[in-house]
Structure 1
């Protein structure tokens, strides 16, 4: 029974790749709203599978199956490759800057994944902007679609550079400063994302406002944690 539970968790994690594949099909068909919905499904799967893994003690029950590796493969597709493809297909930019933005996303993500550790020593923060290109692309398409082209390129470059800066970004599921408020902001962000994608291309000022407020909260939290983090900024291998 324990092995069945552990395998069920691994299969659940792997369904994130199925969601990503459905998103890929949607992008190729020009259904960008559907593609983003599938990316949000993958995000939710990735957000809860770790809790299930700890409950089922998968590392102990199935020591020869590396759930972390499964997770990394899926994450790189759904957090980097597919968002870059969605950006290329949906964002209105001249060909060369659009392509270079996609290259910036993919190269920064690949290098970030290759670094010694992506989680701080206390286990409660990502060090550097985590590979969340799915959320950056969501912001550009569904929340701020009227940004000037130069601002779009500037944001992509900024986030790419931030992968490698010693900034502490909260790991929402692992506690940390203002944790209840962080969980509330996370729920608000995901809820607003679902609403903004659902109403697209119609404007939803309320839900866009919720999205921007939660992003501002994360930015303030990152600034406070980075300033006060001290030794937490030391990288370690993720568990």
Structure 2
């Protein structure tokens, strides 16, 4: 029974890849709104499967099956490849700047996944901007579609560089400073994402504001945590 539960958790994790593949189909058909909704489904699956894995003690029950490796395969597709493809198809940029931005996303993400210190010693932070190109592309396409081409390129390259800077970004499901507030900001961000995608191509001022406030909160939290150091965090 324990093995069945553990395999069920791995299968649930793998459904994130199915959601991302549906997003790929939606992008290829020019339905960017549906594509983003599938990306959000994959994000939610990735956000809760770790809790299920701990409850089912998958590491103990199935020691020869690496849930982390399964996660990495799915995450790289849904957090890097699919968002880059959505960016390439949806952004109104000249060919070479658009392709260069996609290359920056993919190369930085691939190198970041190779870092052994991708997560801080306490496990409560990502060291460097985590591979969240799905959310960066979401904001550029669905929340701030009117910003200039040069601003878009600058944003993409700034986040690509931040993969390798010693900045601490909160891992929302692992506790840490202002944890309850962080969870609320995460829920607000996802809810705003759903609503902004729903109202696409004309973002709702209300939900656009919720998205930007939540994003600003994450930025402030990263600055405070980086300044204080990982050891200063409280569970």
Query: Shift of residue 172 of structure 1?
Result: 0.2
State the 1:118 CA deviation: 1.1
Q: In the alignment, what sits opposite 1:236?
A: none
1:199-238 equivalent positions in 2, closer than 5 A: 199-229=199-229
Map 1:16-95; keep pairs closer than 5 Å.
Answer: 16-95=16-95
1:104-123 equivalent positions in 2, closer than 5 A: 104-123=104-123
Local SS of the residue matching 2:51: helix
Partner of 2:182: 182
Structure 2: gaps (5+ residues): none
Deviation at residue 134 of structure 1 after TM alignment: 0.2
Q: Pairwise CA RMSD of aligned residues?
A: 1.1
Query: Unaligned stretches of 5+ in structure 1?
Result: 233-239
Contact 2:128-2:163 within 8 A present in 1 as well = yes
Q: CA deviation at 1:117?
A: 2.4
What is the distance in 1 between the residues matched to 2:52 and 2:70? 15
Give the TM-score normalised by structure 1: 0.96
Secondary structure of 2:203's partner?
A: coil
**Displacement, 1:230?**
5.5
- Partner SS state of residue 229, structure 2: helix
Q: Which of structure 1's runs of 4+ aligned residues deviate more than 2 A?
A: none
The equivalent of 1:237 in structure 2 is none
1:12 — aligned with what? 12
Q: Distance in 1 between matches of 2:10 and 2:23?
A: 21
| TM-score, scaled relative to structure 2 | 0.97
Question: 1:206 Cα deviation (Å)?
Answer: 0.2
Count of matched residue pairs: 233
1:158-187 deviation digits (Å, cap 9, x = unpaired): 000000000000000000000000000000
